[in-house]
Structure 1
Amino acid sequence: MKRFVFALATAAVTALALPVFAGEQYVDGTGYAVSGYDVVAYRGLAQSAIGHSQPQGVQGKASITADWNGATWAFATEENRDTFLANPAFYAPQFDGHCAYGVSKGGKVPGNPNLWRIVDDKLYLNITKNVVGFWEEDIPGNINKADGNWPGIETKAASTSVIPDFTSAAPVKN
C-alpha cells in the first residue's frame, strides 16, 4: 500500500512539475500564430470598456520571431520577443488562439487578433464583433464554460477556418 501511495504521489508531483502544453495553435494563412500580431504588446494597450471596441493589436515583424507550441510568433521588438520567451504561456492567448466564446460553446473557431480582452491577466480572442457582444454579456460565465469545455476539445485539430471580416497580412518585413 505504501508503494502505491508513493507511486501515486510521485506521479502527481511529476505531472504538476511538467510544463503544460496546449493543443495545436491556430495559425492562419500568414503562417504565424495570432496572425503575426505581437502578443506581448497587448499588455501595453489600454483596454476599452465593455461594449466598446478595443484598440487594434500591434503587428509583429517577420525578422523578429520565436517558435513555441508548434507555431511561429512575430514580435514588434526584440525586447517583446525575449519577454515572451521568458514566459510564453503567460502571453499566448487562451485556447491556443481560438475564439474564447466559440470554446465556451464547445468548438474551435479562429480568434481575431483585433477582437481581444485581457481578463485576470489572460489574453482572450474572439472571432467577430457580434460574437464579442455575446462574450461580453457574461465574461466570467463564458470563461468558466470555456475552461470546462477546453479539456474535451483541446486535442482536436486547430481550426482551419478563415477569420470573417479580417484581412490578415503577414508581419511587417524590415
Structure 2
Amino acid sequence: MKTSIIAIALLATAVTACSTEPASNAETTEAAMSAELVADLGGELQGPVYTKNEGETLALTGYDAVSYFNGDAPVEGSKEFRVRYQGFDYQFATAENAAIFQTDPAKYAPQYGGYCSWAIGANDALAPGDPTVYHIVDGKLYLNFSKDVAKRWTKDVPGFIEKGDQNYPTHDASEHYTS
C-alpha cells in the first residue's frame, strides 16, 4: 500500500515536471510574489487604491498601517511582512503588526484607498495621499496630499468625511490618479 502511494506521488510529480507548456513570466512572477506573502486575505476591492505607479500593488507606499494606531509616528514596513488585502499589498515593520492587521484589515487600511481625504471630500477627485500626513478620526486612518491640504481638511473634518464617504464609492476600482 505504501509503495503504491509513493509510486502515485512520484508519477504525479513527473507528469507535472514534464508539462509541455512552460509557465509564462507573469505566472512565474505572481507565484514568486505569492510565496513571499505572510497572508492573502482576499476580499473584493471597494474602490481605487493609491499606488505610486499604475499597475503596482503596494498600498500606503509601503508604510505599516498598524503603526499609525500604536506608535508615535508611522513607520515603513518590510517586504518580509507583507499581507495582501483586496488585491493590494500592505507591508509591516513586524510580524506582530502583520498579525494584528489580519484580524481586522478594514480597521487599519486607510480610508478612500489611501487617496487624499480632502480631495475626495471637497472635489470628488483622486489625489495622492502622503502617508506622513494623516489623521486618525473615530478609529479610521485618513491621509492628505500635503500639510497645507491637511489644514484645509481640518476646517471641516465631519463635512469632508461625509462627502468623501459619498464620493469615493462612485469611483471605479480600476481608476488611478494621473498628474
Indicate if the aligned counterparts of 2:108 and 2:141 stay in contact, CA closer than 8 A: yes
Number of aligned pairs?
134
- For residues 21 and 153 of structure 1, the distance between their equivalents in structure 2, rounded to whole angstroms, comes to 11
% identity of equivalent residues: 37
Residue 99 of structure 1: aligned partner: 116
Helix, strand or coil at the partner of 1:96: helix
Q: Write 1 or 2 for the structure with the bigger share of helix.
A: 2
- Structure 1-normalised TM-score? 0.71
Instruction: Give structure 1 regions of 4+ aligned residues with deviation exceeding 3 angstroms.
Output: none
The root-mean-square deviation of aligned C-alpha atoms, in Å, is 1.9
CA deviation digits over 1:77-100, x for unaligned, max 9? Answer: 101101111111110000011110
1:118 maps onto 2:136 in alignment: yes
Indicate if the aligned counterparts of 1:24 and 1:70 stay in contact, CA closer than 8 A: no
Q: Larger Rg: 1 or 2?
A: 2
| Structure 2, unpaired ranges of 5+ | 1-42
- For residues 117 and 177 of structure 2, the distance between their equivalents in structure 1, rounded to whole angstroms, comes to 13
- For residues 154 and 137 of structure 1, the distance between their equivalents in structure 2, rounded to whole angstroms, comes to 28
Residue 153 of structure 2: aligned partner: 135
| Structure 1, unpaired ranges of 5+ | 1-18, 47-54, 162-174
Flag the structure with more relative contact order, 1 or 2, with Cα contacts below 8 A and sequence separation at least 6: 1
Residue 100 of structure 2: aligned partner: 83
Q: 1:74 aligns with which of 78, 83, 91?
A: 91
- For residues 89 and 72 of structure 1, the distance between their equivalents in structure 2, rounded to whole angstroms, comes to 13
Residue 77 of structure 2: aligned partner: 60
1:36 maps onto 2:62 in alignment: yes
- Structure 2-normalised TM-score? 0.69
The alpha-carbon deviation at position 156 of structure 1 amounts to 5.4
Letter in 1 for 2:146: T
